[in-house]
Each structure stands twice: as C-alpha cells, then as structure tokens.
Structure 1
Amino acid sequence: MPLEIVTVPCLQDNYAYLVKGPDGVAIIDAPEAGPIIEALEARGWTPGVIMLTHHHWDHVDGIPGIKEKYGCMVMGPKAEEDKLPPVDMALENGFEGGTGDGLCRVIPVPGHTLGHVAYYYPEAGAIFTADSLMAMGCGRLFEGTPEMMFESLQALAALPPETMVYSGHEYTMSNAKFALTIEPDNPELKSRIEDIERARLDGLPTAQVPLSLELATNPFLRAHIPGVKQALGMEDASDVAVFTEIRARKDRF
C-alpha cells in the first residue's frame, strides 16, 4: 500500500502532513488543530499518532485539540522530551517502526534545535524535514552550531536524489530571492523561481520537492561547489566555512 501524503497549511506559513499507509494515519507536526482536523474529516481518516519533529510552539500547539478529538498517541524526539508537550513515546535517533511503505526511520538533524529529527520513509522515498532542510533554505540556528547544521544537511543530501522532501514552512519565495544573491546565474534556480511564482499565484504549496531539485538550487547544500565558493570570495575555504558564511548572510538578508 503506497503512502498517501496530504499537505495541510496551518497558521500563517506552516505545514503539517497527514501520512496514510499500511499501518494507519500519522500526523507529522501539529501547528494548529483546526485545519488538521478539517483535512482528516474530509477524508474520513482517524489518526493513530502525532509525530513531532522538534519542540517549537508552531509545530506542537495543535496537539491538545487533536488529542481531545481522536485520543491519538504523541511521539517526539527523546532528546527534546523535557521541552515537548507530554509524549506517549520518546523516540531515540535511528528508531524504526512500521511496515512496507509505512516503514519510518528517525534521523537526527540538529541545528535549528538540538534534538530536531526528520522522519524518513525509505521504501516510499519520502522525508519530512520540518525546519532542518527547507525549500531552498535551512532553519535558523536557534540552538545548534553551523557545524552541526552542516553535518545534518550533509546526511540528508546523501539520501537518494529522487526522495521527496516535505519541509515545514512556506518560505520558498523568500529563500529563492536569497539564493539568487549567491548564484544569480544558476539556470535551474531561475527556472524553479518561475515555477514557484506560478504555483503561489494559484495558492499552491511549494515546499514539497524532490531532493534532486534542492541539490541543484539550495545554496545551503551547495557550499562545496567551486562556483559558489568563488562568488563568495572563499575559493580556498572549507565547505563548512562556506556554509557558515551563507547562513550568516541569510540571517542578515
């Protein structure tokens, strides 16, 4: 049974995801209850679990309303258990559960927060990255270091390029404008921006793309590219130093 994945816009620019597979329905992150419940009811789905990526309020505030209606379990990273709302199961890094396309692996991706995790479905070719790898961006380093985020993104970049990446916010256009300051002549970036503009005019989400597209257009995954280093005047710098400079520029952008 292939996964059915539903993107649920929440708050101003957040995304939650409904994932229906052979083991039932999971909710990945819960920014607010209303839109998630509406999406579930429209499909006649009953969730068995809410899976949290990290502790920030805009990923967890919908839990009480969803639990009150469905009584579902809550799971989240063990490394952030003391910061999360009460969880029924604290997940260790590397934990696996589920069957077939529903097989899910917990991947540590610290940087945005120290215990941030991604949920990887290797058989289905999907990963839910929240505020680690984002569409043409990465999360701000509220708790971790540049080195930490760089290593997290390197681990994600090593996944099969056809993997679909589902990230946590509709920041794509602002991230794209920044990416142009790093690689103004990147033809794939220019083409992607045109696609984003058309999609957003139609009210469509744009933060759900193949990893291959991120590898070609996301400056935070391209610190090793000689042309990127040259554009920054850092031809002889290490990849992590270039990444650190790109993150610093984005913080000021």
Structure 2
Amino acid sequence: IRPELAKAVRPDCIIATGRSDYPNQVNNVLCFPYIFRGALDCGATKITEAMKLACVRQIADLAKADISEEVASAYAGKELTFGPDYLIPTPFDSRLILKIAPAVAKAAAESGVATRPIADMEAYKETLSRFVYQTGMLMRPVINAAKALPDAQKRVAYADGEDERALRAAQMAIDDKIAQPILIGRPAVIAARIAKAGLRMQLGKDVEVCNPEDDPRFRQYWERYHQLMKRDGATPEVAKAAVRRSNT
C-alpha cells in the first residue's frame, strides 16, 4: 500500500517504509554497523536479545532527541521533530555510532557474552567520537577544560542568536554542560524559532537573552563606535544603525 493511499483512508495512521523518499525509512544501516561495532569491541561471542534491545532503545531515544546541525543541513526544509512523520532517526545521523555501540557493548557485558568487557565507557565513547568528528582531537581538550570551570565562568555569547544553527549549538552546549549560552537577538523571534526547531531550552532559565533593540548598553556602544568612526564619515545615526545591525 502506498503511504499516500493509506493516509487518504486514515489520515491519523503511522507509516514506515523501506524507501528514502517517504518518512520513517526502515533501514538496516541504522543498526547493523553499530551492533557489530559494539560487539567486536567487547569481544562478544554472540548477539543476544539484550544487545538488540539496547540498540532499539538507543534508536528510539535518538528519534526524540534534538537533531544535530549536520542532519538539519542534510535535510534542509524538512520538519524533523518527533511525531508521526519522524519516529525513526535518519540513516546518516553520525550520533548513531556514539549511542548504539556503547549500549550494545554494555549489554554484552551484562549478558555475560563479552570476552573483553569495556571498563571505562566514557573513554570508549571518546574513542568512537574520533572516528566521527575530525575536529574531536583538537576540540576535546577545550571541551574538557570548559566542563571543569565553575558554572559562573562558563558563558558563551552567540551573536546570531536568532539563527537556527546558533540555537542548535546552544542546545548542545546546554546538554553537554559546556557553557551557559547568551543569545543575542529579539526574544520573540528566538522563542518562535526554538519552538519551530523542537528544541528544549527555556529563555531566562537555560539561556540568557540580550535584546540589542532594548539594551541599556546600546547608547554606550553606539557612542563608542561613533567616536572611532566619525573621521570616516559616520554620523550618530549611522553609528546607531551599525550597532543595531551587527551583533558582533
């Protein structure tokens, strides 16, 4: 039955197919490579039901998680938020290996089939991340240093706070406890785009918002800009417009 025909009869039906041109593609690439990765790394003698269930649970959790910037870019224009048309993650989500392989290895150890149980799971996850993210080796020390700082010192300002890419980066910073984001932009616009992207951050709680159109520092900034640029023809009005337009 073609999905559109099923939807015509039951608009509320939930459909999964093996085709990439319809939502909820059922694809072996979602699980097989990562089950094998986890099984091989712990020396599992066989694939148990517990290992399969661990894989399924991670796939289900990932479907409910915020999509990564990588996936958002690859599927631009598509609404990828958990619901009837997004119950299964996309096959090319690089987080699959980071979620499934460790869970499978852990389940293998608990099932008694791992000949080389992985003692340090965090170190194992970090090793896997180096296969996925080429910048991992460079950024890992920076991220670890950021996590070690007191919360009051972990603040990062996102100049393009209304941009979806910046919002996704801010959500990741919150989830990984890397930093307390400061979003520069209009609160109403930011709130609307957070909702549209299906993100979980709450303004005023998880993130601080700096509205350049209503900020007590605005006068200080445009006066300083005017002082620096007036010899190049920048009038006070030009200075105000420049500071209002460019958040950086």
- TM band (smaller chain): under 0.3
Q: Tell me the TM-score normalized by structure 2.
A: 0.25
Q: Tell me the TM-score normalized by structure 1.
A: 0.25
- The structure richer in strand per residue is 1
- The structure richer in helix per residue is 2
- Which has the larger Rg? 2
Higher relative contact order (CA 8 A, sep 6+): 2
